[in-house]
Amino acid sequence: MGLSSRPAERHREVARGFTDRVRGARSWDVPTPVAAWTARDVVRHLVEWLPPFLAAGSGIQLPAGPSVDDDPAAAWQAHCDAVQTLLDDPATTGRVLSDPHIGRLPLDCAIDQFYTADVFMHTWDLARATGQDDRLDQDFCAQMLARMQPMEGAIRSSGQFGPRVRVNDDADPQARLLGFIGRDPDWTAT
């Protein structure tokens, strides 16, 4: 079936998957496939990087929510709801995000390309760390990989992705995407 191609709807679908993993987490201090990050840090990353990105590039101020340290689930939900409200607002369609690294993009497309994609990938990290269902939409995995591969040099030099992890040639799209972004698809907490 695959995910929607519309930014607001795709965020709703991807965020629902991440929210399910947040609600299913029993410990926030467990390690994740991201070196030196706990499950709480995955939520912290998603809650904390987008607001300054939006503020700098579009002047939008997302409302502050609860602290990730105090309540990761509540912090995630408040943040997720704020992003969805922004994407559902008809005025968002006409707004632009401007960034020195990516240029000018329609705001909803910028959120979709950078943030929703990040939530999608980190869903696996949180699921794997907390022992939950870690299956991602295979079609979207393949689409993301196809979009990212031509930009591998820039992606690697950004410091936001680890070195590529080798996977079998016959690996499914999820394993290939995970390997590309520097995750070991066979990672388990020790």
pLDDT, tens digit, 9 for 90 and up, residues 66-77: 999 999 999 999
Phi then psi dihedrals of residue 104, to 5 deg: -105, 130
- Strand 96-99 relative to strand 103-106: parallel, antiparallel, unpaired? antiparallel
For the chain, list the domains and their CATH numbers.
7-135 (1.20.120)
CA atoms within 13 A on the CB side of 139: 6
Q: Give the whole-angstrom CA distance, residue 79 versus residue 76.
A: 5
pLDDT, tens digit, 9 for 90 and up, residues 82-119: 999 999 999 888 899 999 888 899 999 999 999 999 99
Q: Which residues of the chain have pLDDT under 70?
A: 1
Output the CA torsion sign for 169, 170, 171, 177. positive
Find where tokens 């340290």 sit: 69
Q: What's the pLDDT at 184?
A: 96
Q: What's the pLDDT at 165?
A: 96
Q: Give the whole-angstrom CA distance, residue 87 versus residue 18.
A: 17
pTM for this prediction: 0.94
| Contact (CB, 8 A) for 2 and 139 | yes
Q: What's the pLDDT at 155?
A: 85
